[in-house]
């Protein structure tokens, strides 16, 4: 059941713990999302961004060779979506979506 709720976007901001090494949501963060417009996992993250009030800089790796090169140089991967939180990369659309929801909720409180 937890997996189904997570997939649907249910996350408890009071008990949420980010993946290891990822900064805690809430407060001020520099957020940069590396994405493409045709990746279904990126679209999932973009839908969350449409629903929450979070300022995120966008870098589209499909049309920006510098963004693509930077992503590969820093992470060793070309995988998107990848959101940098204060310079720390986080992959996986579900993890990014959960972090964004909790971040928005904690900043709204």
The model's pTM is: 0.90
Residue range 72-106, pLDDT digits in tens = 999 999 999 999 999 999 999 999 999 999 999 99
Residue 24: phi and psi, rounded to 5, are -65, 140
Name the nearest CA neighbour of 84 among 36, 32, 41: 32
pLDDT digits (tens, 9 = 90+) for 3-24: 433 455 678 888 999 999 999 9
Alpha helices in the chain (DSSP H): 2-8, 40-51, 65-75, 93-108
Question: The tokens of 6 are what?
Answer: 């997570």
- Crossing angle of the two packed helices 93-108 and 40-51, in degrees rounded to 10: 10
CB-neighbour burial class of residue 18 (10 A; exposed 0-12, middle 13-18, buried 19+) = middle
């Amino acid at each position: 059941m937890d997996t189904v709720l997570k997939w649907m976007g249910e996350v408890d901001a009071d008990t949420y713990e980010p993946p290891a090494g990822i900064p805690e949501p809430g407060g001020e963060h520099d957020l940069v999302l590396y994405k493409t417009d045709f990746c279904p996992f990126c679209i999932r993250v973009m839908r969350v961004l449409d629903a929450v009030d979070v300022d995120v800089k966008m870098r589209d790796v499909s049309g920006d060779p510098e963004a693509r090169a930077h992503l590969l140089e820093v992470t060793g991967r070309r995988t998107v979506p990848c959101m940098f939180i204060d310079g720390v990369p986080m992959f996986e659309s579900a993890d990014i979506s959960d972090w964004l929801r909790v971040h928005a909720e904690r900043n709204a409180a």
